[in-house]
């Protein structure tokens, strides 16, 4: 019985989230009816704000017949505006943390809100010596 209880406690301790996550919180639409572009707002959690400021946001827009694909980079906490509506792959990158990725569709006049919860990577980086 003691062994079973100890094993259960060990497994429960390891059951927490292992990877970073990126989730959609919601969206809002611009009151200007002529606004045909969209935007993103990304909140970063799981690290202190000073460290999170080093994160980068990578957007990869899927191409179509009328609009070419694009790979865009932004710094953390910067509002991302003037995005052509369409499907984007959003990736939040910070050295030492697993990068979460999420596919997001942005409609004309829509500002999508996302939250990234970063978890430390299990890969250990070591100094290179020569």
pLDDT tens digits along 54-80: 999 999 988 766 666 778 899 998 899
For residue 105, what is the domain's CATH number?
2.60.40.1120
In a domain, 42, yes or no: yes
Neighbours of 5 (CB within 10 A): 9
pLDDT number for residue 88: 93
> Distance (Å, rounded) from C-alpha 88 to C-alpha 64?
12
pLDDT number for residue 13: 45
| Backbone phi and psi for residue 46, each to the nearest 5 degrees, phi listed first | 95, -10
From residue 31, give the alpha-carbon distance in Å to each of 45, 88, 104, 108: 29, 23, 21, 12
pLDDT number for residue 16: 53
In a domain, 81, yes or no: yes
In a domain, 126, yes or no: no
- Domain around 105: 19-117
pLDDT number for residue 43: 94
Regions of the chain short of the pLDDT cut 70? 1-17, 31-34, 64-68, 125
pTM for this model (two decimals): 0.75
Number of domains present in the structure of the chain: 1
In a domain, 124, yes or no: no
Nearest to 100 by CA among 45, 21, 17: 21
pLDDT number for residue 5: 44
pLDDT number for residue 42: 95
pLDDT number for residue 62: 80
pLDDT number for residue 9: 43
């Amino acid at each position: 019985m003691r062994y079973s209880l100890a094993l259960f406690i060990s497994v429960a301790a390891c059951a927490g989230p292992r990877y970073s996550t990126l989730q959609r919180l919601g969206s809002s639409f611009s009151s200007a009816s002529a606004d045909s572009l969209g935007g993103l707002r990304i909140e970063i959690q799981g690290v202190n704000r000073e460290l999170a400021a080093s994160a980068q946001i990578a957007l990869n827009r899927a191409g179509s017949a009328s609009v070419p694909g694009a790979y865009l980079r932004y710094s953390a906490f910067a509002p991302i505006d003037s995005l052509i509506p369409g499907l984007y792959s959003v990736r939040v990158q910070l050295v030492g943390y697993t990068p979460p990725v999420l596919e997001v569709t942005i409609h004309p006049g829509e500002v999508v809100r996302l939250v990234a919860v970063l978890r430390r990577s299990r890969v250990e980086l070591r100094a290179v010596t020569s």
